[in-house]
Structure 1
Amino acid sequence: MKNGSQMIVTTREASIASYCSKNQENVYKLKGLAKKDALFFFTRKVFMENEYLYRQYPELVEQAEQILKKCNGLPLAIIAIAGFLTNQPKTVTEWRKLNESLSSDLEVNAELDTIRKVLLKSYDGLPYHLKACFLYLAIFPANYKISLTRLLRRWIAEGYSTEVRGKSSYEIGESYLMDLIGRSMILPSWRSSHSRKEIDSCQLYDIIREVVISKSMEENLVFRLEAGCGLNSPVTTRHLSVGNDWNGDESEFESTVDLSRVRSLTIFGKWRPFFISDKMRLLRVLDLESTSGLVDHHLKHIGKLFHLRYLSLRGCHGIYHLPGSLGNLRQLQTLDVTGTNIIKLPKTIIKLRKLEHVHARGVGSNDNCVNQEYPEEVPKIMRSKPCILTCSSVGFCVACCAPQLLKDCMDIDGDTNRRGVCTTCCCSYMPMLMTRRSSCGVGVPRGIHRLKALHTLAVVNVSRRKAALREVAKLTGLRKLGVTGIDKSNAGELCLVMGSLSCLQTLLVQSEGMPGLSGCLDGLSSPPENLESLKLYGNLVKLPAWINGGLKNLVKLKLRSSRILDHDAAIQVLGRLPNLAILHLRKESFKGKEVHLHFQQGAFQTLMVLELSSPGKFESVCFDKGAAPKLELLQYYDQPKAEVVVSEEDDNQFEQAPSVWLFSGLASLGSLKEVLLKGDNYKGDFVRNLRSQLESNPRRPVLKME
């Protein structure tokens, strides 16, 4: 308004801000104070003058930084804590005491009561269904980034998020999370270049977390078992979280918590055999993600947890085999064994008719068939199956007699026993040695088609059983599918799967070695209509014809080892995809002595993220004016040819790098915010040229190097 008055409305809720103005440009989301500004604000309040903390009180710097880290740049928290410290001795001991006891001080210290009252008022204003979801976050450690998918799947398993009026429980959970973010109760981590989701993960503000922990214990909802938390009588709680600093024994574990009431168990740190107790009859969630020391025999009694709905062994490298008793978990909805060494799911899994999500082994970073041929140094007589079987059997027998040898050799994390070693050898290593097939993905048993509730199945290795693809085609409710082991022999079945799964939203297809995926996808007339994310790993030579005009809803595309020959034709096809927002061109996406990528005017109208990671022998990447008008992030990585030591301060240290003129037209990218260079293989002239182009861009994008 040029003439007249203006009104400024401040609120913690995004919905109120949006309601106050129809023009979203008038809505400004305040950010926390930067580290430098927060320290200045804090120092001025504590010392009542502009003291330079590093010079006047260097011994207090570390404690001050820890205090400010907990405040997360929130002025209210900074001013309240600084006001309290104004009248306290300016000593390391006093400030350390505050850091260590901030949670209790928020409750009993009158000078810090302002923070607690404001935060409790925000909590009291939450609807009932959001209060439990919010306090549930007390399970996770400080500064812990909580995966969005992990949190929502857990909420669903706990019954906090249920299907309502045609909306899935996952969609309801997402709306709860966005509501909490809109109320400034949760700190979101915004979309990375690897995700098509707006938010990847979230975490609590440190200062809010202290109140959440206090309130969750008051409500008997969450109890964190940590060092020094000994109690006189057992705690009654629904959700038990064991910190990585707790070193108690079994008697202390059972005397501290009433295990019969526990509904969820989350372990951070080292595994103890007594963590799974017969008393946990009501357990719904068992989350052991990245737990160290866990091996196969620790799971032998897991079949007794009849109410279990969520089981995560993600990142537990000592797990090679799932027990058959898994079939007793008839309520199980989510099974996550990503990052384990399991290569085959147990036969009893087909009994789990409520199972919705199976996350298993990934596909690694190499699409070459590493097990196809033996090195030339190995004599031919040693390559025969009888010889392999004999030598392997001898080695495995020795390992079974002396489990410690296998533990040391394979770097198994945990206490192994003979039975565990035998299982590992027979169920994992022996089949791979005999078949010389890839260890990517997992094999699925006969009857997998009976799991009609499945929404997610990834990644399945179909090279071990051709009929598996025909069974997967019957899982018409699948939204996310990953398959590896594709070749000419099962290409027809793959096309049948893609044509049958009309609800499919995410698809990963991998083929190792040669000829790879070449010709394997040509038998498909039209892809799934709702496909939003597509990953093709393996030798393609050319893009399948159905990509041209057949992927109207595709948001994310990732190509790797595709070795496409006609570069211009491929870029033109991709540039016409109407909703493509994220494009990853990874290792050897293009093949040829020289690769020139030309982004023409009018192409890639919706592209926001472009990653070029060693996609081929690049000579030029040119952006015409009007190309990629919404591109915000350009990420580039060039495979180093030699070890080079570089620093961001000295551009002249960059050696053996791509052409100085590799990129052109960056000044015309009207939405560009950031150019990210990964690796250390860049000459000074190359970096200076990039900076010059970015300085000519009206938006002044930043150049970052990792």
Structure 2
Amino acid sequence: MEHRDCPGPSTSTHSRSRINLLFPLVFGRTINLDEQYPTLIEQANLILKKCNGLPLAIVTIGGFLANQPKIAFQWRKLNEHISAELAMNPELGTIKTVLMRSYDGLPYHLKSCFLYMPIFPEDYRVGRGRLVRRWTAEGYSREVRGKSAVQIADSYFMELMSRSMILPSEKSIHSTKGIDSCQVHDLIREIGISKSMEENLVFTLEEGCISNSQATVRHLAINGNWKGDKSEFESIVDMLRLRSLTVFGQWKSFFISDKMSMLRVLDLEDTKDLRHHHLKHIWKLLHLRYLSLRACPTIFDLPDSLGNLRQLETLDVRGTGILKLPKSIIKLQKLNHLRAGIIPAYEDFVSWEQAVGHIPKVMKCRPCTLLLGTMLCCLACFAPESFLGDGMSHRDVCAMFCCCILPILATRLDAHGVLVPSGMTKLKALHTLGVVNIGRGKVILQDIKGLTRLRKLGVTGVNKENGQELCSAIVGLRHLESLSIRSEGEPGLSGCFDGMSSPPENLQSLKLYGNLVKLPEWIQELKHLVKLKLRNSTISEHDAAIQVIGNLPNLTFLHLLEKSFKGEEVCLSLLPGTFVRLMVLELRPTLKCLKFEQGAACKLELLKFRFADINNESLLGLPSLASLKEVVLQ
């Protein structure tokens, strides 16, 4: 059992144990690392990191280093040129031979997916959904016997995982699938880079790169350390052949060109200093299928010309300043994945009601806010650009105020979601939609009702006026697997679900953010529910709610966050025979006591909770949790 809040030593026990595997092979005996070879510890850790637990690699490299000088410089050379050493050094050839057999044993469709991985930098965590949808946009998967292309690509992800060609980088407690992201073993990545170079697939534009035959590649990745200019860019890259462009780090305006006529994937996630006017010519990329501007906070608007991208399948603008989508979005009838609003990892941001408690009263007056915001916008527009910071221009500041700040302050628009135009029902291919603000009218609910292929839906702005229409829309979505509903302030979600007669029977994930008062009765019918998340629910009948939740037969992840229950201090008791499949339990209400009775939550592995005060009566029944691996106390 592990307590996360306990700091570890500067060199972890796990790191030391790995070094102890390598050093006896090198020196022929056990030695004291700190006393005899302190300068080798850092390089040894880097070598072992590349081996990543691969026994063959540890033994072979250990034997090779046994015949090398025991100085940090020599070991650093091995780290920096491991690819060349694997290719040219006969002593290390065994590793490459075995790894090549793993690659050669892949079926053709998996080879294509694996050779896509060198696009991402070393040690980069690649999101599962991001990778799967990029593969789909590249045409690596097709719909087969009722399974969508995305589902087929996801099966490729798991098959590469089972063959250890990609490794899980994080088993996220926030995912019903368990694995949200992956990495590539450093040595296997070298194989991928080598094969990708042979086939002119991937070229990384980075510091020190030179123009060669790789310029005719299909996939271009731009590293943040590349400092070249437009002429150098155009001399290196053959833009006519590009199928994908991925930017890591700083954006430059010449990265997009109308010469990239065959581009299918434009991935600008986390790109710095990208502005909305840099996208004004994006409509010329007529073959584009995947567009991600995720986590680009200086994007406040999308051009109306976006509607020309008729082949677009994925549009991800989460974590941007976009609060309203253009009317032309309804022209994208092949769109199956539309994500907007707050990035899930940051969805715990304070609500408007919480935020206004910390600002002057004058700012709570909407006309005053509008006037003050307009004055600030005018002042910013006349200020020297050197005072604006972060490379922003007057045009950027104006867009930020008009498209983001003023709508939030003056109309209290919920920044967790976006406004969408009427006519969304035309997007019949949509499988994922969210987060959509439904607080400005009921027309969008009629549109959602017609999106019968939806599997994932997120909405915000729910209230008593639109609650019944929302229930009516949800009931008809028979394929829905994930549902997120948010409402800020009072009365919140109270009474909104009274008309929900039969919830979608395939629902696996449910998130309810807002005042419920009592748990909706229909939750007990969700026999396939795997994940439940509540926040600001202020449920008064604690014991009854826990009993209902505990009887859900497939519930695996339960997150009861801030103000889930009414009261300053809450006592919870988990009864025998309840929570039979629960593996993760997160409790953020301030608890007075938590009791696990014998036979409750028998499969629980991770427990996260918060106590007002710890004593002998605070936590009871912990020894009965035979599967428990980790406890996090806040």
Q: Same fold (TM over 0.5)?
A: yes
- Equivalent in the alignment of 2:348: 365
**Among 132, 144, 148, which residue is 1:164 paired with?**
144
What's the CA shift for 1:88? 2.2
C-alpha distance in structure 2 between counterparts of 1:97 and 1:225, whole Å: 23
- Equivalent in the alignment of 1:241: 221
What's the CA shift for 1:439? 2.0
- Equivalent in the alignment of 2:8: none
What's the CA shift for 1:391? 3.0
**Among 39, 46, 55, which residue is 2:19 paired with?**
39
- Equivalent in the alignment of 1:63: 43
Contact 2:414 2:460 in 1 (8 A): no
**What does the per-residue CA deviation read over 1:536-575, in whole Å, with 9 as the maximum and x for residues that have no partner?**
0011110111113x21111110010101001111011111
Show the 5 A alignment for 1:304-703: 304-362=284-342, 364-366=347-349, 368-370=351-353, 377-378=360-361, 385-402=366-383, 404=385, 407-408=388-389, 413=390, 415-548=391-524, 550-613=525-588, 615=589, 617-638=590-611, 657-677=613-633, 679=634
In structure 2, the CA distance between the partners of 1:383 and 1:533, relative to structure 1 (3 Å rule), is: closer
**What does the per-residue CA deviation read over 1:367-393, in whole Å, with 9 as the maximum and x for residues that have no partner?**
6433896879535xx765554433332
In structure 2, the CA distance between the partners of 1:580 and 1:255, relative to structure 1 (3 Å rule), is: same
C-alpha distance in structure 2 between counterparts of 1:374 and 1:143, whole Å: 42
1:635 aligned partner, one-letter code: K
**What does the per-residue CA deviation read over 1:225-257, in whole Å, with 9 as the maximum and x for residues that have no partner?**
221111356621111111122222222222222
C-alpha distance in structure 1 between counterparts of 2:309 and 2:360, whole Å: 49
Which TM-score applies when normalising by structure 1?
0.84
What's the CA shift for 1:670? 2.9
- Equivalent in the alignment of 1:294: 274
C-alpha distance in structure 2 between counterparts of 1:51 and 1:374, whole Å: 61
**What does the per-residue CA deviation read over 1:306-357, in whole Å, with 9 as the maximum and x for residues that have no partner?**
1111111111111111111111111100011111111111111111000001
In structure 2, the CA distance between the partners of 1:82 and 1:385, relative to structure 1 (3 Å rule), is: closer
2:623 aligned partner, one-letter code: A
Show the 5 A alignment for 1:9-28: none
**What does the per-residue CA deviation read over 1:631-654, in whole Å, with 9 as the maximum and x for residues that have no partner?**
22212245xxxxxxxxxxxxxxxx
Contact 1:152 1:174 in 2 (8 A): yes
Contact 1:399 1:405 in 2 (8 A): no
| 2:79 pairs with 1:99 | yes
What's the CA shift for 1:406? 7.9
Which structure 2 residue ranges, 5 or more long, are not aligned? Answer: 1-12
**What does the per-residue CA deviation read over 1:651-693, in whole Å, with 9 as the maximum and x for residues that have no partner?**
xxxxx7444421111111232222222x4xxxxxxxxxxxxxx
* Larger deviation, residues 326-335 vs 291-300: 291-300
| 2:92 pairs with 1:112 | yes
**What does the per-residue CA deviation read over 1:116-160, in whole Å, with 9 as the maximum and x for residues that have no partner?**
111111111111111111111111111111111111011100011
- Equivalent in the alignment of 2:114: 134
SS in 2 for 1:536: strand
What's the CA shift for 1:400? 2.3
In structure 2, the CA distance between the partners of 1:482 and 1:377, relative to structure 1 (3 Å rule), is: closer
SS in 1 for 2:216: coil
What's the CA shift for 1:450? 1.0
Show the 5 A alignment for 1:62-211: 62-189=42-169, 191-211=171-191
**What does the per-residue CA deviation read over 1:404-436, in whole Å, with 9 as the maximum and x for residues that have no partner?**
37844xxxx5x3333333333222223233313
Identical aligned residues as a percent: 57
SS in 2 for 1:153: helix
C-alpha distance in structure 2 between counterparts of 1:126 and 1:233, whole Å: 26
In structure 2, the CA distance between the partners of 1:49 and 1:387, relative to structure 1 (3 Å rule), is: closer
Contact 1:135 1:215 in 2 (8 A): yes
Contact 2:468 2:498 in 1 (8 A): no
C-alpha distance in structure 2 between counterparts of 1:236 and 1:285, whole Å: 17
In structure 2, the CA distance between the partners of 1:385 and 1:633, relative to structure 1 (3 Å rule), is: closer
What's the CA shift for 1:51? 3.1
RMSD, aligned CA: 2.1
Contact 1:538 1:560 in 2 (8 A): yes
C-alpha distance in structure 2 between counterparts of 1:257 and 1:338, whole Å: 30
Contact 1:138 1:222 in 2 (8 A): yes
What's the CA shift for 1:587? 0.3
Higher relative contact order (CA 8 A, sep 6+): 2
- Equivalent in the alignment of 1:648: none
C-alpha distance in structure 2 between counterparts of 1:390 and 1:66, whole Å: 57
In structure 2, the CA distance between the partners of 1:465 and 1:374, relative to structure 1 (3 Å rule), is: farther
In structure 2, the CA distance between the partners of 1:377 and 1:316, relative to structure 1 (3 Å rule), is: closer
1:103 aligned partner, one-letter code: S
Which structure 1 residue ranges, 5 or more long, are not aligned? Answer: 1-32, 639-655, 680-706
**What does the per-residue CA deviation read over 1:445-479, in whole Å, with 9 as the maximum and x for residues that have no partner?**
11111111111111011113332222211111111
Contact 1:539 1:563 in 2 (8 A): yes
Contact 1:320 1:424 in 2 (8 A): yes
Contact 2:240 2:259 in 1 (8 A): yes
C-alpha distance in structure 1 between counterparts of 2:302 and 2:359, whole Å: 36
2:529 aligned partner, one-letter code: L
2:565 aligned partner, one-letter code: F
- Equivalent in the alignment of 2:4: none
Contact 2:200 2:214 in 1 (8 A): no
Contact 1:244 1:270 in 2 (8 A): yes
Count of residues in correspondence between the two structures? 619
Which TM-score applies when normalising by structure 2?
0.93
